[in-house]
Amino acid sequence: MKALRRMRKDWVIYAMLFFPLLYFVIFHVIPLYGMKLAFQDYRILGDHVWVGWKHFKVLFSSPAFGSVMENTIIISLMKIIFVFPIPIALSLLINEVRSSKYRKYVQSVVYLPHFLSWVVIAGIWISLLNPTDGGVNLIANLFGIPSVDYMTSKEHIRWVFVVSEIWRSAGWDSIIYLAAILKISPGLYEAAKIDGASRLQQMIYITLPHLYSTIVTVFILNLGFFMNAGFDQVFNFMNDSVISVVDILDTYVYRIGIGNGQFAYATAASLFKGTIGIVLILGTHFISKRISGKGVW
């Protein structure tokens, strides 16, 4: 009854949840029913035939699957190692900006790329990295460095993913850390100043320890998306020259499912990816709980 009274009092806030919840129900809950297709042979007309683990056996024995898994793991690891720490560092730097006007300007600039689609971002980066008249190569030429076609180079394309991901998401992802910093009592900083602590020491011994639980939570949640590796990004940056080193599980599922019409096989691959994500979240959560006492819940 108390919950109903609270909902009646704040009905506007709860009404705002309707469309987000509807979105998750339509695109995330209802599709779970279709996961049974991974254990069936799809028939356009007629009943689907139950085949058990057939599609999973074919998936794991496929030569392409090994390459796809390797690419997925490498790209995801690169993003975890090089992308994940950047929003933390950026939030610490923004917090050190004393001018409120300049801080708001910096925040607006670094948040903006998040609102661009990967189609637009791919166009921007392809233009910047053009080997003939792209800005990056023109600047490199000024220092005597020869032009490089980054978009068709197997050695560089994964680093293009990392840098473009940082450019797009670092600012937006720093919001959650800035919110956590705002919760820190100003009295702690005042006491540290009285004791003669420098700005760097305040950051190391006050700000970072208070961010620890937030960092752990975000890290665990990010591991749940480890097998995604960024479908939108890879799909828009991928080309025939580099497909062997950037073809990830999501693009593989898209190609065999939508492109070739092998819906049951693609569902099996997608279910495998989702299962790995759940295992990573639960495993990391319990390990973190055991070591530090902090987890997602």
CA-CA distances (angstroms) from residue 133 to 126, 161, 223, 236, 265? 11, 21, 38, 21, 43
| Residue 281, number of CB atoms within 10 A of its CB | 19
pLDDT tens digits, 21-70: 999 899 888 888 888 888 888 777 667 788 888 888 888 888 888 899 99
Asked whether the beta carbons of 219 and 176 are under 8 A apart, the reply is no
pLDDT tens digits, 214-270: 898 888 888 877 888 888 999 999 999 999 999 998 898 888 887 887 888 888 888
Task: Report how far Cα 190 is from the mean position of its chain's Cα atoms.
Answer: 37
3-state SS, residue 42: coil
Helices 208-224 and 85-95 pack at an angle, to 10 degrees, of: 150
Task: Report how far Cα 285 is from the mean position of its chain's Cα atoms.
Answer: 18
Full set of structural domains in the chain with CATH: 64-292 (1.10.3720.10)
3-state SS, residue 40: strand
